Structure 1
């Protein structure tokens, strides 16, 4: 074989290697999963979260894959396991996952969450202790409003009561309004956001202490430089109108750095086993 042909084949081989290397790198590129709590239909969550996930991937240079669920129980099982890198969840669900995997909260919305118990304006019940043996409507057993209000009533007021799962905030209000439940428990912000026209029909008889809102958290195996890059990218979104719209869609409005001790250590005092044993009416 002539020297010219050898050089030609070497050039071909070098070209093929150069072309193949990016594909090889792509095939072995680390993909980080982001598990999002199923608090809305999957179609809606996909629409709301995809622009943010694409933005994070672009800004940080890492590949993030959105993972959605049809049931909260499946989400909780997954986040307690070894397969989730990032998660977004209600604070009580974050704490349950933290107990198993020590997730690090990175960013949360600046708003605080507080539960409330309310009755009809013409109700004979004036304080929570009056609800002993009565029925309180709540959205569901795992919702943060349910957890923090039932915890406050069971431990702070030390009364037994029946629970009625209504499925949504508006259904909680309707259940109280038509007399299916003696009282309702929601987040205090929901009274304004979800059924403002009904506010005049109700009277609030108890509010819980505030807790930090839903965190965007990372598994401790995620390298610190990646966690820091994601944190910076999320906080920077608040600097533009387009970014604020993305944050609003996923309920991370006016984001701030999250801190476990200040924001979520509260849940160490919650008896989740006791709440799980409480059966609906």
Structure 2
């Protein structure tokens, strides 16, 4: 029997969804809904349902908004259908649901989805397991969720690894071996400021209190040099750079990889005046409730991805340029440098 999979154009990301229109299909509506659930677009619609702040009636033409909200409403009534329908043929977690994965929200959700969903798809293909991308719009929400053990797998910063280990027993699997995590302080390119000592008493933007490279490492350096300042937490690295570029803030903190990921029109307006000490970068970590056999499968699949040009291109987007095994001992500098004292409980 030929299955009609809700004849939407091929959708690679949320922006494409906003501008796409369905093609005519003669299949019965009940079959369309069923096939939508078992299709790959099911994940995209669940992401929209859970975190649709980027789609509002003001950003969509009225006909598109009506169509989108109708489809999501229908799906929401069926969300309780057995997960085996949506993930037929895949192994799942102990609860029968797909394994949950979340990444620290350094970027806005659409960008994170574009980075991680292809990687999770490749992991599914290689391991036979299922993965659901869980979006968290703000870093504090991400922190609270992994502290509560809500994620089976997570991409987190080195301080998060220590906290997650203490609270839930998370285990680092792999990391980038080609670089170190360093914080940067940026000002507008035309600013006369040349050093962080000149920021005495200034308002400085940070993504969140506990972003390691973009907040804790710079704040530790400010303290070492006895520079007082007024912090403002603006949720994402992108917001930091945008505020400084537009002159809203005198200076802001981030990390080099997220600065390089900004549009050229933003990067060209910024200048780095300080770089912090370096730490071992973010690991891909796993909760100990995931069976050892599944942890091993995921680790081996990531290593295999890194061994092929196509797989490495996916990992480069994280960025993870040279994938190596991660160990808890890689992150001892967190304690040696007393960085936990800069952690702000929220």
Matched residue, 1:87: 154
Matched residue, 2:332: 265
Give the direction of change, closer, same or farther, for the CA distance of 1:93–1:58 in structure 2 (3 Å limit): same
Q: TM-score, normalised by structure 2?
A: 0.60
Matched residue, 1:150: 219
Q: Structure 1 CA distance, aligned partners of 2:237 and 2:138?
A: 18
Matched residue, 1:133: 201
Unaligned runs of 5+ residues in structure 1 are 1-21
Matched residue, 1:15: none
Matched residue, 1:56: 123
Which is further off, 142-151 or 37-46? 37-46
Matched residue, 2:228: 160
Matched residue, 2:102: 35
- Once the two structures are TM-superposed, the CA of residue 30 in structure 1 deviates from its matched residue by 7.1
Across the two proteins, how many residue pairs are aligned to each other?
253
Q: Structure 1 CA distance, aligned partners of 2:339 and 2:328?
A: 15
The answer to whether structure 1 residue 231 and structure 2 residue 231 are counterparts is no
Q: Structure 1 CA distance, aligned partners of 2:96 and 2:187?
A: 55
The answer to whether structure 1 residue 187 and structure 2 residue 255 are counterparts is yes
Matched residue, 1:9: none
Give the direction of change, closer, same or farther, for the CA distance of 1:277–1:31 in structure 2 (3 Å limit): closer
Give the direction of change, closer, same or farther, for the CA distance of 1:173–1:30 in structure 2 (3 Å limit): closer
**What SS does the aligned partner of 1:276 have?**
coil
**What SS does the aligned partner of 2:344 have?**
helix
Q: Write 1 or 2 for the structure with the bigger share of strand.
A: 1
For the pair shown, the structure with the greater C-alpha radius of gyration is 1
| C-alpha RMSD of the superposition | 3.5
The answer to whether structure 1 residue 97 and structure 2 residue 143 are counterparts is no
Q: State the Cα deviation string for residues 190-209 of structure 1 (Å, max 9, x = none).
A: 44442656777665443211
Q: State the Cα deviation string for residues 35-75 of structure 1 (Å, max 9, x = none).
A: 33333444443443333223323323434333333343332
- Where relative contact order (Cα < 8 A, 6+ residues apart) is larger, the structure is 1
Q: Structure 2 CA distance, aligned partners of 1:222 and 1:171?
A: 35
Matches within 5 A, 1:203-222: 204-222=272-290
Which of 43, 52, 66 does residue 133 from structure 2 map onto? 66
